[in-house]
Amino acid sequence: MDLSNLLKPDAVKVLATVTSKKRLFQDLGDIAHSAYGLDAIQTVDALQEREALGPTGVGHGVALPHARLHGLDRVVGVFLRLEKPLDFDAVDRLPVDLIFALFAPKDSGVDHLKALALVSRTMRNAEVCTKLRANTDPAALHAVLTAAAGGVQAA
């Protein structure tokens, strides 16, 4: 499993301003719909339901929202770079500007966990985050993510 299998180039976006976590989840739902054909409303509801269990802001400006959905046959991702960081109730209380959302089949077990671990390791890499913050071109962001994860394989 690697990020190039999880993340389509058209599922990588840069957003100028997001005013709330709810709005962010709506944007993620819309992008997941256009990139993967997921039901946007179901996607938003699943993200909000998961977030209610505890914030997915992991610190250092990074959030990893994730949800399990009916109708998926594999794990897929959406990456957003925010030009203006958003308060996300992260563990370090810092706003987030890098969001990597994962969507997994409702009954996925180990694949969902492997994908989450791979994304987490990739997004903990300070060099990768610096490159992501230095780029505003979605194609360049996709290239940074997929190249970085090439050396970070899931077991």
DSSP string, the chain: --HHHH--GGGEEEES----HHHHHHHHHHHHHHHH---HHHHHHHHHHHHHHS--EEETTEE--EEEETT-SS-EEEEEEEEEEE----TT---EEEEEEEEEETT--HHHHHHHHHHHHHHH-HHHHHHHHT---HHHHHHHHHHHHHTS---
Question: In the annotation, is 142 catalytic?
Answer: no
pTM of this structure: 0.93
What does the pLDDT average to over 71-90?
A: 93
Mean pLDDT over the full length of the chain:
91
Digit-coded pLDDT (tens) for 36-57: 999 999 999 999 999 999 889 9
Q: Name the catalytic one among 33, 66, 70, 142.
A: 66
Domain boundaries, the chain: 3-148
3-148 classified as CATH 1.10.287.3510? no
